[in-house]
Structure 1
Amino acid sequence: MDYPALFQARWNVSRLVLCNLIAIALLGIWMWPTGHALFTRFDEWLFHLLNQPLGQNAVWLDIWTVASMRPFDAVVGLILLSLLIKGEWVFKTIQARAALFGFVSILLLLLAIRTVFSKWLDHSSLQHDSPSMVLTDSVRLSEIFPTLEKNWQLKDRSSQSFPGDHASVLLIWAMFMSVFSRTLLQRLVIWGLALLFMLPRLVAGAHWGQDDYIGGVMIALLALGWGYYTPFAATTTNLLLKVTAPVFRLGEKLPVVKRLSVVRGS
């Protein structure tokens, strides 16, 4: 059975403008001194709520220590990738390959937007340290487990906390999947996972909440708007489908690989 193309090579001006307006509004509210003060007050409360139990509960400490290490990020990436390319869940099997390439193209756009935005932040006074570096009563995982920080890249602080890179990737995945999701259950799973996997950086103190719900959302919205609601994703996906076609034809001959939705889909 044939299915409509996931991406259309046309401009959706109304959605593009909406994504940009929301992103600009978030940045404006964050830069407004009163708004920034309110966000910071809320984030201090949120950080203490999540971080202080690390010093009181060994199980809580162990869970978030593991979740704050770089290898866990790889596990998260595999989970998100698996759901993205899983045939007959959000996407039909025949659409899985295009979905993968479309997401990759938007993700690359997100990285470009993040780079440009970071250059602008570097020349402003808006950048800030993470809460673990600012709040003296924070429980620092790197001080409790210095070996893990060195050998397993335990992440609990940053001198360039805004915006949350980790959160922006999770959010663009959730937004992308939500565009194509068909049921409430799918959306609950998608956003539940995104919010859950955003928590380690907040618990450990590598990011303030505003780095995620302002910075991460802003960057993700810009990437979604300029990637999906313009011809960008359609053009890039079609190009990647053509370039990689020989590779996937080879994959169809490999015993295990040929069972993957991205290989079976054509």
Structure 2
Amino acid sequence: MTRKNLPWILFCNVLGIALFLSWYLPENHGFWFGPDSQIFFFFNQHLGSSRFFLYLVAITNNRAFDAASLLCMGLLYLSFFIHEDGRGRRRMLLLGVVILFSAVVLNQLGHLLPVSRPSPTRLFDNVNLVSEMTGFNTKDGSTDSFPGDHGMMLLIFACYMLRYFTVRSFFIALAIFVIFILPRIMIGAHWVTDIIVGSLSIVLIGMSWWLMTPASDRMVDLLDRNLPGKHRP
């Protein structure tokens, strides 16, 4: 499996490294800074002109709203779980543990990158801050927004859908990713490049070695052999 997928693994690694370096090496992040700032100001100006948009963004960036993304991912996973027999359900539960483990590890590794970057709401002066305008407890900024943790978790889940389930489930997971990462960008808690450079480059590199080799399967097998349960092999 590893030999067969090696060209794809190398392609994902080269793409991920090139994507990161295209942003990291140029002064002030080169051509990326233009669209980054333009997208931020596009949404930020509408926060001051549309009350509906302001409160929509406030609500969708409340920490409690994160549970909605977990619910969507859980329902997608459940749609496959309910069709499995006892043995298959055990494997899916163990795969869920592996998904969580790999997401936590990759997230921690991502924060080892030599980057510390404030969100646009912390970089620019005289901008609309949703928490001040509404009084809501909502995330509208960060002292270190790179890479995007939330985006990385959602992308990792999408990768598992493609590897273990169906192409259709992968595109559904990508839709969940877009729906739930967009509010972070609209409120200014993240730059677009926190996601399409930070999260994506890390996932391309990390998940290619984890999912295009036997590594994830062996982790599931290891748990299957050693954890107690009715359908233990």
Provide TM-score, normalisation by structure 2: 0.85
**AA of the residue aligned to 1:215:** G
Q: 1:182: how far off?
A: 4.1
Contact 2:55–2:134 (8 Å) recurs in 1: no
The more displaced of 158-167 and 79-88 is: 79-88
Contact 1:85–1:99 (8 Å) recurs in 2: no
Measured in 2, the distance between the counterparts of 1:75 and 1:211 equals: 22
Question: Residue in 1 aligned with 2:140?
Answer: 156
**AA of the residue aligned to 2:84:** T
Q: 1:245: how far off?
A: 5.0
Measured in 2, the distance between the counterparts of 1:219 and 1:34 equals: 21
> Counterparts in 2 of 1:108-257, with a 5 A limit?
108-121=101-114, 126-146=115-135, 148-149=136-137, 154-180=138-164, 182=166, 186-246=169-229, 249=230
Q: CA RMSD in A?
A: 2.7
Structure 2 stretches of 5 or more lacking a match?
A: none
Q: 1:112: how far off?
A: 2.1
**AA of the residue aligned to 2:199:** G
Aligned length: 229
Contact 1:86–1:93 (8 Å) recurs in 2: no
Q: 1:99: how far off?
A: 4.4
Question: Residue in 2 aligned with 1:63?
Answer: 56
Deviations 1:55-81 (A, max 9, x none): 222221222211101111112112112
| Other structure's SS at 1:119 match | coil
Name the CA shift for 1:115/1:47 in 2 (closer, same or farther; >3 Å): same
Measured in 2, the distance between the counterparts of 1:44 and 1:223 equals: 28
**AA of the residue aligned to 2:222:** L
Q: 1:108: how far off?
A: 2.3
**AA of the residue aligned to 1:93:** E
Contact 1:27–1:218 (8 Å) recurs in 2: yes
Measured in 2, the distance between the counterparts of 1:49 and 1:97 equals: 47
Structure 1 stretches of 5 or more lacking a match?
A: 1-7, 250-262
Measured in 1, the distance between the counterparts of 2:18 and 2:95 equals: 27
Q: 1:174: how far off?
A: 1.8
Q: 1:109: how far off?
A: 2.6
Measured in 2, the distance between the counterparts of 1:202 and 1:28 equals: 22
Name the CA shift for 1:220/1:107 in 2 (closer, same or farther; >3 Å): farther
Measured in 1, the distance between the counterparts of 2:91 and 2:40 equals: 39
Q: 1:49: how far off?
A: 2.0
Name the CA shift for 1:100/1:223 in 2 (closer, same or farther; >3 Å): farther
Provide TM-score, normalisation by structure 1: 0.75
| Other structure's SS at 1:86 match | helix
**AA of the residue aligned to 1:167:** G
- Aligned with residue 93 of structure 1, among 79, 84, 88: 84
Q: 1:181: how far off?
A: 5.3
Measured in 2, the distance between the counterparts of 1:230 and 1:220 equals: 15
**AA of the residue aligned to 1:75:** A
Contact 1:110–1:223 (8 Å) recurs in 2: no
Deviations 1:120-174 (A, max 9, x none): 42xxxx321100111224321121244x32xxxx211111111001111111112
